[in-house]
Structure 1
Amino acid sequence: MAMTTSEEESSIPNSFDNKNGFNPQTGIYHSLVQLNEHQKIPSHPNLDIATYVLSHFPPPDKAEKQVAYIDSTTGRRLTYAQLHRSITSLASGLYHGLGLRKGDVVFILSPNSLLYPIICLAALHIGAIITTANPLNTEREIVKQVRDSRATLAISAPEETHKLLPTRVPILLTAKKDGQLSVEELIENCEYIEIPEAKPTQSDVAAILYSSGTTGTSKGVVLTHSNFISVVTLLKWSVDVTNARKDIFLCFIPIFHIYGLAFFGLGLVCTGNTIVLMKKYDFQEMLEAIEKHKVSNIPAVPSVILGLVKYNGGGRHYDLSSLRRVGSGAAPLSKEVIGKFRMKFPRVELRSGYGLTESCGATTLFSSDEEAEARPASSARLLPCFKAKVVDFETGLALPPYKEGELWLKSPTVMKGYLGNEEATAASFDSEGWLKTGDLCYFDDEGYVYIVDRIKELIKHNGYQVAPAELEAILLGHPHILDAAVIPMEDEAAGQIPVAYVVRADDAKLTEDQVIQFVNNKVAPYKKIRRVSFISAIPRSAAGKILRRDLISQSKHQMFSKL
């Protein structure tokens, strides 16, 4: 479905507005940035993502000393030379020792570790297809994904193997345990032997990543080597334009998610940067890692930003002076939270972005902090090689700046489709190959994108559409609210009403009426919060997105219990 690079370039018209990228004749928004000859996405068809990544490692004399990854818990360091040798040794062991072949699917079940990017790149180097899963998933969810993806080998952390037993798929452990074959053993004992089979090409499938399923059934997103080469090329460009080439990055985003895989597993090692890897997100451990390793850059999600804003020290002062940039993705960041972050951390750049699994994690980027500060509610401008439309739900017409509609995308990063689901794939693309994101948005007159909310999550109240994200932003502005989520509740008279779930500060004596009044004084009558439930934590996906389905199910259960 995605356009090739040459098609993308040849289709750029001369008649779009240089200020916002909008062409009124076609209704298409174009990126205002063009890549130069040295930055362009490689067009050679016989190229795979692993070869592309390895080709950008530092030269041998520098690779022996330059650190690629640091384990935040143990302090163990992996240089670029060690990383290269580990990838090629494991690829040889998987191919010659275990018989893994091009097109075979490898299921990876593990938390973040130094081994995770090695496993991904080794499998991709052979031409195998990777599919990743959250270790918190249940046995039922894991069995379903293994069977749906048709995995022929599972690579698992030792503590997770019991969930894989019903699949009867061969299991390779990540770490040594009880004499069972492991990734560590293959890396130590296998020397690289040339892999004779034809290498994967850009058009071959590289990964099947399953969407979080926050608004529906989880689907396998099919991404090609071309998709990943494109997104890594754009990431390399973004590191250059944002002057982040000598940063120390902190990774607590799970690598099984597109955000973690594209950014920390594949992209950043093409730039020569150092990545501090955390096994999983923990707020206190994050602060310790920043202090200990002098972290300068944190790609994060809104819940982490909110945690930093609300953090009051808790009796322990951490030195965060090394921090100079924080990025936010996966979900919109409210204007209120951004304002409070800038007040608390005036020397730290905060930049929001937008992407989705179906676009390989990329779509927009702020190239400077001045841009981000001037437009705090925006998700930045389109990345190079991206086109967009804002489409009216009822008429299907492409809309000009400041008109809200569904965001449609075209770029070389856009997925091939959903695995084995022709109906869902057809519903996600129009006849010309535009990806329908399902996100409500608008562009301003300078080409900046504003994500309003997920269309499926809009609350329909008396014929009006209410965006939960808008109400959540207001709630998070309350000094005694740590986190919040808004969901629809069915109502006989109005159709649906907005209901809030709120996490109070520990010492707060906040009441339902106080929360309702706080919000309702700031919104139009049809947007008013009607009910409030206090909760210990808002359920979120690994990427930080609110799991509204869980809250809706909980709400229905509470209603049923009262009957």
Structure 2
Amino acid sequence: MSTEESWVATKEEETSNAQLALDPSGYDSRTGIYHSLHQLGEDFQIPTRHDLDTAKYVLSQFPHPDHAESKVALVDLATNKQVTYAQLSRSIRALASGLYHALGVRKGDVVFVLSPNSILYPTICLAIFSIGAILSPANPINTESEISKQIRDSGAKLVISAPEEKHKLSKTGVPTLLTTRLSNDDSVSVEELVECCDPIDLPPVRITQSDTAAVLYSSGTTGTSKGVILTHANFIAIMMLLKWSAYASSSQHDTFLCFIPMFHIYGLAFFSLGLFCAGIKTVLMQKFDLQTMLDAVQAHQVNNIPAVPPVILGLVKYASKVKCDLSSLRRVGSGAAPLSKELSDGFREQFPWIELRQGYGLTESCGAATFFVSDEHAKAHPASCGRLVPTFTAKVVDIETGLPLPPCREGELWIKSPTIMKGYLGNEEATAATFDSDGWLKTGDLGYFDEDGFLHIVDRIKELIKHNGYQVAPAELESILLSHSEVLDAAVIPVEDEEAGQIPMAYVVRASNSELTEEQVIQFVARQVAPYKKVRKVSFISAIPKSAAGKILRKQLVSQSQQLVTSKL
């Protein structure tokens, strides 16, 4: 039974009984299942029509033609070029026509996309979807070997690349289409296909919701990177949830700022797909820079910024020291990595007029799972990442016994929803290990729901430090370290110890001119935690390595610590 089929099969049974035994957290003590306390409503039902693809759905949500010619969809921050919804629609259809007729891309062909954020990125993604091809985006900072591996693994038939990344593709042997033409290159580009191809000449391709739409590669921060298979049904479901979220939080008329990488599920779902379904305007940054972001907020009167914890940290630590006007900003979201209570409190203290709302999701769940609809709830539960969004159910499973747990008991989070991936590409073993027999996705995250149904993520189970039989969560220690006035950033990793098994070691980025010592850091943490949680070693570093989504790359720090130990022997 597929993931989607198992979700449908169990959802009917769960829903029929759900309202009879739920406590205020949404927990059903008879089944051990947590249910969403939010309802989509009649205007936001997920389409059941089988012959519907992602692009067709997005285009159907565009503003009425009378408004589409004047309503701005995208603004390029670097050039101030604007793209209206009508122009975006024509570009998508023209590129789809060019990919099909000029380049021979067919249904099921994988198109590998290697590019930083650009106003062409949504056009490229939706054009690929509209002809039934499969999108596989990649991080442009990846090395040549990493890119070659992903191209081989995905079976890509065509690469669409930014000109500055072309040199990484010479050994792949896969045909390459540049986004813009190089001065010394006569080959056709995406821009030229958009300009010269007939947007009416669309290919007659039958695409269904169950067809594969994209293969996204997980960051691999805790293991080997795997190809996550997402279907058109997954994307359509997440777009409906994002549209619901926009209207539920009155964001449909906001101006959003995008610096989240569009190759990541967070950026792809939000900025290449979801926000278009609510008719929202997005100002697009190619890459993140704090001062550029602050300037963009003022220049374009930005109201809403989906962000990641390092950006929140940067605002708290640096924004007060630079000249900026953030009066237009009313909401900042945070996702992709945990946001500590200390950092949340620090942000709200410094920017009391800005709502800060954390969410939780995975590439495997199309970026969704929990979210705050109300700022009142976000303030009351600053350490939480919100409640389950509509269509989601969850379990918290005891790691030792495998039994479901009630509120306020920590265990592994399992989730189920129509947004959940089909599986891992070419990796049946990993897919089987990730799903249980009833289709529940095992997230690998340790957490719990409180009495009001708000999710609290403690840490990744594989990243927990085992000290003398106790479990120590790195994220807890990192939040304490970040509360120190002389600490700009921090990460905690396990270090092998002959007596204790593992001990917590901290990597710390000091503030400029700080003379903070190892002993001072150790004592600062020790005063706030149980003895077994104390940091035992500290190393000062210029920057904490992180993924594009803001996740700490602990593997790099563990490797660095091992090299440090070896060099001392």
TM-score by length of 2: 0.97
Is residue 128 of structure 2 the alignment partner of residue 123 of structure 1? yes
CA distance in 1, matches of 2:548, 2:21: 39
Please state how far the C-alpha of 1:331 moved relative to its aligned partner: 1.1
**Shift of the alpha carbon at 1:81?**
0.6
What is the DSSP-based 3-state SS (H/G/I as helix, E as strand, rest coil) of the residue aligned with 2:44?
A: coil
The alpha carbon displacement at 1:18 in A equals 4.7
Partner of 2:525: 519
CA distance in 2, matches of 1:209, 1:271: 24
2:42 is paired with a residue whose SS is coil
Q: Deviations over 1:266-307 (max 9, x none)?
A: 000111110011001111111111111111100000110011
Query: 1:165: Cα distance to partner?
Result: 1.2
Pick aligned residue for 1:11 from 6, 9, 14: 14
Q: 1:431 and 2:437 equivalent?
A: yes
The letter for the 1-side match of 2:14 is: S
Separation of aligned partners in 1, 2:20 and 2:213? 37
Partner deviation per Cα, 1:169-225 (whole Å, 9 max, x = no partner): 000000121322100000011012443443211000000000000000000000000
Give how far 1:387 is off.
0.5
| Distance across 2 between alignment mates of 1:52 and 1:475 | 46
Tell me if the contact between 2:131 and 2:203 (Cα under 8 Å) persists in the aligned partners.
no
1:310 aligns with 2:317: yes
Query: Unaligned 5+ residue runs, structure 1?
Result: none
Q: CA contact under 8 A between 1:2 and 1:413: conserved in structure 2?
A: no
Which stretch shows the higher mean deviation, 33-42 or 100-109?
Answer: 33-42
Q: How far is 1:2 from its partner? A: 3.0
Which residue number in structure 2 is paired with residue 405 of structure 1? 411
1:257 aligns with 2:242: no
Whether 1:89 and 2:94 are equivalent positions in the alignment is yes
Match of 1:202 in 2: 209
The letter of the residue matching 1:356 is L
Please state if 1:487 is matched with 2:493. yes
Secondary structure of the residue aligned to 1:11 is helix
Q: 1:547 aligns with which of 553, 557, 562?
A: 553
Cα distance in 1 between the residues matched to 2:328 and 2:459: 34
Residue 478 of structure 1: which of 473, 484, 498 is its match? 484
**Partners of 2:507 and 2:544 within 8 A in 1:** yes
Separation in 1, partners of 2:21, 2:62 = 38
The answer on whether the counterparts of 2:4 and 2:422 sit within 8 Å (CA) in structure 1 is no
Counterpart in the other structure of 1:454: 460
1:28 aligns with 2:33: yes
Task: Give yes or no for the alignment of 1:353 onto 2:354.
Answer: no
Residues 528-539 of structure 1 mapped to structure 2, 5 A cutoff: 528-539=534-545
Given that residues 3 and 410 in structure 1 are in contact (C-alpha distance below 8 angstroms), is that contact kept between their aligned partners in structure 2? no
Tell me the distance in 2 between the aligned counterparts of 1:167 and 1:223.
Answer: 25
**Preserved contact between residue 9 and residue 385 of structure 1 (Cα < 8 Å):** no
1:133 and 2:138 matched: yes
Q: List gaps (5 residues or longer) in structure 2.
A: none
Q: Which residue of 1 aligns with 2:389?
A: 383
Q: Deviations over 1:122-150 (max 9, x none)?
A: 01000100001001000000000000000
Residue 293 (structure 2) pairs with residue 286 (structure 1): yes
Shift of 1:17: 1.5
Is the 1:410–1:433 contact (alpha carbons within 8 Å) kept by the matching residues of 2? yes
Aligned to 1:167, what secondary structure does the other structure show? coil
**Contact 2:304–2:332 under 8 Å retained in 1:** yes
Give 1:35 deviation, angstroms. 1.9
Offset of residue 312 of structure 1: 4.8
1:105 matched residue in structure 2:
110
**Do 2:336 and 2:549's aligned partners in 1 also have CA atoms closer than 8 Å?**
yes
Render the CA deviation track for 1:361-416: whole Å, top value 9, x for unaligned. Answer: 00011111001000000110000010000001111000000100000000000000
Q: What is aligned with 1:510? A: 516
Q: Residues 3-29 of structure 1, C-alpha deviation per residue, up to 9 Å, x if partnerless?
A: 457543553123332511111111000
* Count, aligned residues: 562
Give 1:32 shift.
Answer: 1.2
User: Could you tell me which residue of structure 2 aligns to residue 167 of structure 1?
Assistant: 172
Check whether the contact 1:64–1:81 (CA below 8 A) recurs between aligned residues: yes
SS at structure 1 position matched to 2:78: coil
How far, CA to CA, are the matches of 1:374 and 1:445 in structure 2? 13
Which of 41, 45, 48 is equivalent to 1:40? Answer: 45
Specify the alignment match of 2:376 in structure 1.
Answer: 370
**Aligned residues: percent identity?**
66
TM-score by length of 1: 0.98
CA change 1:109–1:196 in 2 (3 A) is closer
Q: Aligned-pair RMSD on alpha carbons? A: 1.1
Residue 180 of structure 1 is matched in structure 2 by 187
Q: Provide Cα deviations, 1:49-88, integer angstroms capped at 9, x if missing partner.
A: 1000000000111111100000111111110011000000
Structure-1 separation of matches of 2:12 and 2:418: 11
Name the SS for the 2:83 alignment partner: strand
Q: Please state whether the residue corresponding to 1:52 is helix, strand or coil.
A: helix
Q: Secondary structure at the match of 2:445?
A: strand
Q: Give distance in 1, aligned partners of 2:30 and 2:8.
A: 22
Alignment pair present for 1:442 and 2:448: yes
Match of 2:62 in 1: 57
* Contact 1:406 1:438 (8 Å CA) reproduced: yes
Matched, 1:72 2:102: no
